[in-house]
Structures are given as C-alpha cells and as structure tokens.
Amino acid sequence: MRQDAAWLYLSPKSGWCALFRETGDLRSFDGAAWQAISLGSDRSVAMIGINAAPDDTNRLAVSSPASLFSHEGHGHQLKLNKAAVGETGTILFQTAWAGRAELGLAGNDDFSIKVSSDGSSWKTALRISATGVVETPERPTAAASRTAGTATPASGSLTGFDAFRFAQGNVQLGAAVPSGSGQRLVVPSAGLYLLSLNVRTLSSSGHGLAIEANGTTILAALEGQASTSPARQSAMAFAQLEAGDWLALRHTGTALYDFGETKTELAITLL
C-alpha cells in the first residue's frame, strides 16, 4: 500500500478480503493463501471475516473496536429473524466468551432480558409478553406473616414471621428475632422499598405496632385505641434499605392480635 510517498507493507490476516486488480476477482485470505470467493447469481458469499476468521456457525465474523450501521436517507433497522416461536432470536453479551446478559426472544415470543454471573445459571430480570404485560420476576417482593392464630405479645417485644404468602427475588426469613417470636425478614438487595403493614386485632387495651429495621430504627407505626371489638389498621412507608437489613414488628401496649395471611401481615417490594 502506497502512503505518504512510501510503500507500507502489511501482512494479511485470516479473513481479510481483497480485490485482485490483474484478474478482477475477489479473494479471501485463509491464513495461508488467497482463496477465490465465488459469487452466486444472487451476488452472495458463503462467509466473510473482517479481521477475524468466520466458521460454519459465525459466517460473518468481525473483530474491531466498534461497528457502525448508519442510515441511507432516514432511518435504519437491524433485523433478527427466527424460524418459529420456539426458536431463539437474541443478542448475547459475553465476558471472556462466557454469557453475562441476553436480550430478545429466547425460546418464545416474549421479549426478555436475562443475566448471569457465571454463564450457566440465568435469571430473567425483565419479561414483556406479546400483549404488552411487563413482569420483573427477580424484583424483591414478599408478603410475610405468622402462622394463623391469636396472641397477645408483650409490650416492647418483637414479632417476626414464619410464613410467606408469596415471595420472589431472594427475599428470605433469617434468624429468630432477639426478643419475642418469629424470624427476621431479610432484605436481599439495596434500594428504595415500599412497606405495607396490615393489622387485625380482636381486642385492645390501647396498643401500638411499628415496622422496625435491624432492631433499632422505626420505619412506620400505627396506634390503636382501647376496644373490645375487632379492628383493622394499616400503615405504609418508603424506606431506603441495604442488603442484609432485617425487618420485624415492634409492640407497645397490649392487644389480642389475629395473625395469618391477609390478617396481620407485612408486605415489601423494591421500587
């Protein structure tokens, strides 16, 4: 190649293509020799490599700091077409040739974004159905309660949980609360959470119930007046929580609580 009044000599790499001026044909370098590329009647080639070696699966191979696809006139579309619903049409992102993220139509016609920490175990972070319904299967969300029954917790004690009505996103029950009964509700990921507490009492001498983090910080609270009749109360709050934080219910006063699903129950969801 002639450049700046001098000849620049380059050693060809496998996959390079060149037009031979003397014969007028296009050839590809296979690492040892220049092989003729035969164009069919549709002017197509079987495979091509740009600074990379193509193969039977990767028939177009490109090794480059970047790739540019630009418009000619107005817009530009990049199309991935699969043969049937059960096939896969996705873009796969890798680190050291191991998959880390994948987006597209993976085995069905729902658009999904999946992630992996090791290239073999995958989690679906986002799924959008063909009807437009959006799901986040790994978003930390749960509704936790005690086993159905009644109890009168001591003032100053904690009530934890021992059952989920539903849970996803690795929300788990941890160690027993330090004073009282039940287990800690452990937060799996840092972020802003919506907390919702529903309470059912059968009677009360005047009581208070609070959502408490890590046995120290009150996040939301409610108070009930003395009553001999069943009553329902609720409290909601936003809270910035860290991975590993735990939640429980702090009691004040005295009341006969009705525990169980949809009765006295704490729900959390990461926003």
Q: Terminus-to-terminus CA distance in the chain, angstroms?
A: 59
DSSP string, 202-270: EEEEEEEEEEEETTTEEEEEEEE--BSS-EEEEEEEEEEE-TT-EEEEEEEEEEEEEESTTSSEEEEEE
Residue 157 resides in a domain:
yes
Mean pLDDT over 76-91 rounds to 96
* Phi-psi map region of 165: left, alpha, beta (phi>0 left; psi -120 to 50 alpha): alpha
What pLDDT, on a 0 to 100 scale, did the predictor assign at position 59?
Answer: 92
Residue (of 135, 217, 141) closest to 172 by Cα position: 141
Rounded to two decimals, what is the model's pTM?
Answer: 0.77
Residue 69 falls inside a structural domain: no
Q: Which two tokens stand for residue 189?
A: 């990921």
- 92 and 18 within one domain: no
* pLDDT over threshold 90, residue 74: yes
Q: 83 lies in a domain?
A: no
Q: Are residues 25 and 121 in the same domain?
A: no
Confidence check: pLDDT of 8 > 90: no
Beta strand pairing call for 180-181 and 158-159: parallel
**In the structure, what pLDDT confidence band is assigned to residue 148 with cuts at 50, 70 and 90?**
very high
Region of poorest pLDDT, from 8-12, 113-117, 202-206: 8-12
The verdict on residue 79 lying in a domain is no
**Confidence grade of residue 113 (pLDDT, cut at 50, 70, 90):** very high
Q: What is the CATH number of the domain that holds 253?
A: 2.60.120.40
Nearest-angstrom CA–CA distance, 123 and 105: 15
The answer as to whether 186 is a domain residue is yes
Q: Could you tell me if residue 1 is inside a domain?
A: no
Residue among 151, 154, 114, 159 at smallest CA distance from 136: 114
Mean pLDDT score across all residues of the chain: 93
Residue 40 has pLDDT above 70, yes or no: no
Residue ending a domain, among 27, 45, 62, is 62
35: pLDDT strictly greater than 90: no
Hey, what are 75's tokens?
A: 């817009």
Residue 123: give the domain boundaries: 88-135
In a shared domain, residues 124 and 187: no
Same domain for 47 and 120, yes or no, is no
Whether 178 and 219 share a structural domain = yes
Q: Give the residue among 149, 170, 147, 146 at the shortest CA–CA distance from 158.
A: 146
pLDDT band at 42 (very low <50, low <70, confident <90, very high): confident
Query: Closest Cα to residue 50, out of 89, 83, 18?
Result: 18
Pair 57, 104 in one domain: no
Answer yes or no: do 119 and 182 share one domain.
Answer: no
User: Is 4 a domain residue?
Assistant: no
* Spatial separation of the C-alpha atoms in residues 26 and 39, rounded to whole Å: 9
Residue 75 lies in a domain: no
Residue 251 and residue 155 share a domain: yes
> What percentage of the chain has pLDDT greater than the value 90?
80
Distance CA 16, CA 226 (A): 85
The pLDDT score that the predictor gives to residue 17 is 84
120 and 186, same domain (yes or no): no
Residue 209 sits in the same domain as residue 120: no
CB 130 within 8 A of CB 110: yes
Which of 135, 151, 167 is the endpoint of a domain? 135
Q: pLDDT > 70: what percent of the chain?
A: 98
Which of 160, 152, 216, 205 lies closest to 185 in space, CA to CA? 160
What is the total residue count of the chain?
271
Domain limit, last residue, from 77, 111, 135? 135
Asked if residue 212 and residue 189 are part of one domain, the reply reads yes
Is residue 1 very low, low, confident or very high in pLDDT (cuts 50, 70, 90)?
low
Q: How many domains does the chain have?
A: 3
Residue 199 and residue 149 in one domain? yes
Task: Report yes or no: 264 and 200 within 8 Å, Cβ to Cβ.
Answer: yes
